[in-house]
Structure 1
């Protein structure tokens, strides 16, 4: 999911890490300092359009490396969330670094997430612009509920519950959609979908160039 550039990510305000409050957190998550930049898949590639597989092995070096790579790739691509199939890995994992509407920063990862939304009587839909790192350069209004809960596990298999409101709730829904094999384009009318695809055709090379420049300019510990 693309970050909202009109709301810069603060480092000196309230932070919730893996759903729990912490006193402070660095601008660049430590995982990103260990990760490698991966290519972001784009809409139309098969891996984005089929459900991802459950993770069955926790506490492994491979799972930790995947999470690290997701964090760094998300940072380079200027994202607020990134799912594993967006770097070509069809496993049910996503990471996030996203502000909610109260400017609380939420940072973390979740494995094998299950999305829970309010019931119809308690549900409030909000239309807001939404972008996707796999639909580069496009943004469209998408209706989403203003509250969401995701239950799953951390990299070591410990249970997690992450709750979101506002834009962070949108992020949780967006990334959960990815793991089910959907992009936000699937929620648009035919006309709006064509508009989004026109936007990405016009802007994708500019987006790719900016990502390449950010990757080349990484200030990494020990580099």
Structure 2
């Protein structure tokens, strides 16, 4: 496993705004990418990391919302409901936080590292993380969805 460079908006804005291609090969190269993404996310103290954030324009992301690493390949959001409005940040925009409205519930279908399809559902932070990372795969960043940026005073509270 290796720590990968996280693409910052100031480094390569275009990469963060491109739609990703589906993963078609489930092999050691993909497994190494997933392992590297997890290690990179943990090292950066993040909750999630998507392919384009490490320069890979593939439909893949990892999250850990307190239950251990979860891997999503070729994800499809099947259902959302409710709303939550809260502070959100992104490893590609260090030090920037804004208020973002997201669904409070999400049901997602994806493939695992071996290509097997599965479905998961969850609320609150799980829903926020899945929607945030899935947006990355479509070239959408949290700043595209935020209603306002948070001030330093608000972050200190």
TM-score w.r.t. structure 2 length? 0.89
Q: CA deviation at 1:117?
A: 3.0
Corresponding residue of 1:57:
25
Using structure 1 for the length normalisation, give the TM-score. Answer: 0.64
Distance 1:106 1:141 in 2: 26
Query: Which residues of structure 1 form unaligned runs of 5+?
Result: 1-34, 100-104, 200-223
What residue number does 2:47 align with? Answer: 80
Gapped runs of 5+ residues in structure 2? 153-157
State which of 135, 138, 153 in structure 1 corresponds to 2:96: 138
Instruction: Write out aligned runs for 1:136-175 (5 A).
Output: 136-175=94-133
CA distance in 2, matches of 1:173, 1:130: 12
Q: Does 1:177 align with 2:135?
A: yes
Counterpart CA distance in 1 for 2:109 and 2:42 is 24
In 1, Cα distance between the equivalents of 2:46 and 2:34? 15
Cα-Cα RMSD: 1.6
3-state SS of paired residue (2:65): strand
Q: Paired residue for 1:95, among 62, 71, 83?
A: 62
Hey, which bits of structure 1, 4+ residues long, moved more than 4 A? none
Aligned pairs, number = 150
Judging by fraction of residues, say which structure has more helix.
Answer: 1
Measured after TM superposition, the shift of residue 185 of structure 1 is 0.5
Q: Contact 2:101–2:146 at 8 Å: present in 1 too? A: no
